[in-house]
């Protein structure tokens, strides 16, 4: 599993979780959805993603690294 795939999986899970929490717990959980969306948006332009940095420090490889090895 690569860093990019894990980032997509975690982001998708967080969006689904925040929608469920917004519906069942409190409407202010929509802020979590906004946070995840904004983070994905900015990382598309800046290529800076906190989760990707953490995963790389933990030793996960990126798709680029797997393609070259």
Nearest alpha carbon to residue 37 among 22, 15, 66: 15
Measured CA to CA, the distance from residue 51 to residue 58 in angstroms comes to: 11
Per-residue pLDDT of 14-67, as tens digits, reads: 999 999 999 999 999 999 999 999 999 999 999 999 999 999 999 999 988 888
Of residues 66 and 5, the one with the higher pLDDT is: 5
Ordered by start, the domain boundaries in the chain are 3-63
Say what the pTM is. 0.87
pLDDT number for residue 25? 98
pLDDT number for residue 64? 82
């Amino acid at each position: 599993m690569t860093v990019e795939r894990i980032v997509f999986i975690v982001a998708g899970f967080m969006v689904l979780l925040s929608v469920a929490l917004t519906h069942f717990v409190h409407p202010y959980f929509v802020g979590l959805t906004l946070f995840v969306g904004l983070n994905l948006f900015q990382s598309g332009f800046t290529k800076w993603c906190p989760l990707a940095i953490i995963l790389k420090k933990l030793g996960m490889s990126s798709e680029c690294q797997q393609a070259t090895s």
